Amino acid sequence: MNIFDILLPPFFLILILFIAYKYKLKHQKKSKIYKYFIPGLIVKMIGAISLGLVYFYYYKGGDTLNYFQTASAISDLLFSNIENFNYVFFGSPNITEYYIMDSHYDFTFWINDKYAFFVSKCFVPFVLIAGKSYMSSAIIIASVCYLSVWRLYEVFVNEFPHLFKKLTIPILFMPSVIFWGSGIMKDSVTFSATCLFVHGFYWFFIKKKRNYFYLGSIILSAFLLLSIKPYILFALFPGSVLWLVAIRVTTIKNKFFRIIIGPIIIVIGGLVVLTILQYFSGNLGQYSIDKVFNTASGAQQDLKQSYYGGNSFDIGDYEPTLLGLLSVSHKAIFATLFRPTVLDVRNIVMFISALENTFILLFCIYLLFKLKLFGFFKLIRANPLVLFSFTFALFFALSVGVSIANFGALVRLKIPCIPFFMASLVIMNAMRDERILEKEKLKYQKELLKSR
Asked if 67 contacts 184 with a C-beta cutoff of 8 angstroms, the reply is yes
Q: Is the dihedral of CA 144, 230, 399, 285 positive or negative?
A: negative
3-class DSSP state for residue 185?
Answer: coil
Quote the pLDDT of residue 259: 61
Amino acid type, 356: E
Give helix 63-80 / helix 37-57 axis angle, nearest 10°.
90
Q: What is the pLDDT of residues 357-371, one digit of tens each?
A: 999 999 999 999 998
Tell me the average pLDDT across 175-201: 96
Q: Which residues pair with 197 in a beta bridge?
A: none
pLDDT given for residue 291 in this prediction: 53
**pLDDT tens digit string along 2-18?**
667 778 999 999 999 99
Q: Give the C-alpha separation, 76 to 84, whole Å.
A: 10
Structure pTM?
0.90
Weakest-pLDDT range from 117-121, 150-154, 423-427, 447-451? 447-451
Using an 8 Å Cβ cutoff, are 75 and 132 in contact? yes
Q: What is the pLDDT of residue 309?
A: 47
Q: Indicate whether 37 pLDDT > 80.
A: yes
Nearest to 360 by CA among 393, 328, 327: 393
Cα–Cα dist 57/410, whole Å: 21
Residue 246 — pLDDT band, cuts 50, 70, 90?
A: confident
Q: What is the mean pLDDT of residues 205-218?
A: 93
Q: What is the pLDDT of residue 96?
A: 92
> Mean pLDDT over all residues of the chain?
86
80-123 residue pLDDT tens: 999 999 999 999 899 999 999 888 888 999 999 999 999 999 99
Residue, of 315 and 239, whose pLDDT is higher: 239
Per-residue pLDDT for 251 more than 80?
no
Least confident of 29-33, 221-225, 356-360: 29-33
Residue 273 pLDDT greater than 80, yes or no: no
320 pLDDT above the threshold of 70: no
Distance CA 123, CA 72 (A): 9
> Where along the chain do its domains lie?
1-167, 284-452
Confidence of residue 307 (pLDDT cuts 50, 70, 90): very low
Q: Which pLDDT band, with edges at 50, 70 and 90, does 407 fall under?
A: confident
Q: Is 64 exposed, middle or buried (0-12, 13-18, 19+ CB in 10 A)?
A: buried
